[in-house]
Amino acid sequence: MVGIGYILVHIAGVIVCWRIGFRGGFYFFLILSIVELYNSISPLFISGFIDSAANNLPHSITFGEFVAFITYVPMGIQAIAYLILIISLYKAFTNKKVFKKKEANTEFE
Protein backbone atom coordinates (compact mmCIF):
# COMPACT_ATOMS: atom_id res chain seq x y z
CA MET A 1 0.00 0.00 0.00
CA VAL A 2 2.88 2.35 0.78
CA GLY A 3 4.39 1.63 -2.63
CA ILE A 4 1.21 2.80 -4.34
CA GLY A 5 1.33 6.02 -2.32
CA TYR A 6 4.92 6.64 -3.37
CA ILE A 7 4.03 6.03 -7.01
CA LEU A 8 1.15 8.52 -6.79
CA VAL A 9 3.39 11.15 -5.16
CA HIS A 10 6.03 10.63 -7.84
CA ILE A 11 3.46 10.95 -10.62
CA ALA A 12 2.20 14.17 -9.01
CA GLY A 13 5.81 15.40 -8.98
CA VAL A 14 6.14 14.54 -12.67
CA ILE A 15 2.99 16.54 -13.48
CA VAL A 16 4.01 19.56 -11.39
CA CYS A 17 7.54 19.66 -12.82
CA TRP A 18 6.14 19.32 -16.34
CA ARG A 19 3.81 22.28 -15.80
CA ILE A 20 6.46 24.58 -14.37
CA GLY A 21 9.05 23.48 -16.93
CA PHE A 22 11.63 22.00 -14.54
CA ARG A 23 13.15 19.24 -16.65
CA GLY A 24 15.52 17.96 -13.96
CA GLY A 25 12.66 17.42 -11.52
CA PHE A 26 10.56 15.87 -14.28
CA TYR A 27 13.21 13.23 -15.03
CA PHE A 28 13.91 12.74 -11.32
CA PHE A 29 10.29 11.96 -10.48
CA LEU A 30 9.84 9.91 -13.66
CA ILE A 31 12.82 7.69 -12.88
CA LEU A 32 11.79 7.32 -9.24
CA SER A 33 8.25 6.36 -10.23
CA ILE A 34 9.60 3.70 -12.61
CA VAL A 35 11.89 2.32 -9.88
CA GLU A 36 9.03 2.29 -7.36
CA LEU A 37 6.79 0.54 -9.89
CA TYR A 38 9.55 -2.03 -10.43
CA ASN A 39 9.91 -2.53 -6.67
CA SER A 40 6.15 -3.09 -6.38
CA ILE A 41 5.88 -5.54 -9.27
CA SER A 42 9.21 -7.40 -9.06
CA PRO A 43 8.33 -9.69 -6.12
CA LEU A 44 5.68 -11.28 -8.32
CA PHE A 45 8.11 -12.53 -10.94
CA ILE A 46 11.57 -12.34 -9.38
CA SER A 47 11.42 -15.72 -7.61
CA GLY A 48 10.77 -17.53 -10.90
CA PHE A 49 13.58 -15.59 -12.53
CA ILE A 50 16.00 -16.49 -9.74
CA ASP A 51 14.98 -20.15 -9.89
CA SER A 52 15.57 -20.31 -13.63
CA ALA A 53 18.87 -18.46 -13.40
CA ALA A 54 20.19 -20.53 -10.48
CA ASN A 55 21.32 -23.29 -12.82
CA ASN A 56 22.67 -20.98 -15.54
CA LEU A 57 24.68 -18.35 -13.67
CA PRO A 58 26.91 -16.35 -16.03
CA HIS A 59 30.69 -16.04 -15.60
CA SER A 60 30.85 -18.41 -12.63
CA ILE A 61 29.36 -16.02 -10.09
CA THR A 62 27.76 -17.38 -6.96
CA PHE A 63 24.04 -17.39 -6.31
CA GLY A 64 24.42 -14.78 -3.55
CA GLU A 65 26.31 -12.44 -5.88
CA PHE A 66 23.56 -12.82 -8.47
CA VAL A 67 20.82 -11.94 -5.96
CA ALA A 68 22.87 -8.98 -4.68
CA PHE A 69 23.30 -7.73 -8.25
CA ILE A 70 19.55 -7.89 -8.83
CA THR A 71 18.91 -5.82 -5.71
CA TYR A 72 21.62 -3.25 -6.46
CA VAL A 73 20.29 -2.36 -9.91
CA PRO A 74 17.25 -0.35 -8.66
CA MET A 75 19.41 1.40 -6.06
CA GLY A 76 21.89 2.40 -8.76
CA ILE A 77 19.11 3.77 -10.95
CA GLN A 78 17.76 5.67 -7.95
CA ALA A 79 21.21 7.16 -7.33
CA ILE A 80 21.32 8.32 -10.96
CA ALA A 81 17.94 10.02 -10.46
CA TYR A 82 19.25 11.90 -7.42
CA LEU A 83 22.36 12.88 -9.34
CA ILE A 84 20.20 14.30 -12.15
CA LEU A 85 18.21 16.32 -9.60
CA ILE A 86 21.32 17.68 -7.88
CA ILE A 87 22.95 18.71 -11.16
CA SER A 88 19.79 20.35 -12.48
CA LEU A 89 19.20 22.25 -9.22
CA TYR A 90 22.80 23.43 -9.24
CA LYS A 91 22.46 24.66 -12.81
CA ALA A 92 19.15 26.36 -12.03
CA PHE A 93 20.55 28.21 -9.03
CA THR A 94 23.81 29.27 -10.68
CA ASN A 95 22.28 30.38 -13.98
CA LYS A 96 19.40 32.41 -12.56
CA LYS A 97 21.38 33.75 -9.60
CA VAL A 98 18.56 32.96 -7.21
CA PHE A 99 20.56 33.65 -4.06
CA LYS A 100 22.18 36.89 -5.19
CA LYS A 101 20.84 40.07 -3.62
CA LYS A 102 19.36 42.66 -5.92
CA GLU A 103 21.12 45.97 -5.81
CA ALA A 104 19.05 48.90 -4.69
CA ASN A 105 18.02 51.34 -7.37
CA THR A 106 19.72 54.64 -6.53
CA GLU A 107 18.11 56.68 -9.25
CA PHE A 108 15.09 58.84 -8.45
CA GLU A 109 12.14 58.73 -10.75
Q: Domain spans of the chain? A: 2-95
Is 29:14 a contact under the CB 8 Å cutoff?
Answer: yes
Residue 99 in this model has a pLDDT that exceeds 50 = no
Quote the pLDDT of residue 54.
65
Q: What are the tens digits of pLDDT across the range 66-84? A: 778 888 889 999 999 999 9
Residue 105 in this model has a pLDDT that exceeds 60 = no
Q: What are the tens digits of pLDDT across the range 18-72? A: 888 888 889 999 999 999 888 888 878 777 777 776 667 667 777 778 778 888 8
